[in-house]
Amino acid sequence: MGLVIAFWVLAVLAILSALGVVLLRNVFRASLSLVLCFLAVAGLYITLSADFLAAVQVLVYVGAISVLIILAIMMTRNVPQGNPSNKLAIPVFIVAAAFLAVMVYAVTGTAWPVSTQPPLEPTTAALAIKLFGEGGFILPVEIAAVLLLAAVLGAIVVAREK
């Protein structure tokens, strides 16, 4: 019962933070809302016993993509100004509503097979053995982390004012 409650709380949090991404005028706050949405989706994966997908969600999206977006926003000027109003808001709303209708029809019209059996074993143990076990790939992971740190520092040096 607690898992079902956690699922619905995370689902509502993901939807609200996704709405925050779209509706907030401040780009920096919208990107922070995107980080919250990514974390909520990772939590949803955990409640669905998809540990590997949750780990990938946190590593790739929260750890890399979100940091990249926030770094790009912080290196640009006029961030508090926000986005100007768009003349295509009504046509985009119509297209989005049509897309939503098609998605709702597809989701409700599909017979989704549901398994009553939980996964037999966690999915993260095999990944941990491959990465950190004997003959694993820890060195490439560490090299990639150092290269990303060097790229971030280089971007800061290039973008700073003289």
pLDDT of residue 148: 80
- Please, are residues 22 and 64 in contact by the beta-carbon 8 Å criterion? no
Whether pLDDT at 123 is above 90: no
82-111 residue pLDDT tens: 556 678 888 989 999 999 999 999 999 999
63-76 residue pLDDT tens: 888 888 877 777 77
Structure tokens at 11: 């689902």
pLDDT of residue 110: 93
pLDDT of residue 99: 97
pLDDT of residue 83: 57
Cα-Cα-Cα-Cα torsion 71, 77, 78, 79, nearest 10 degrees, comes to: 0
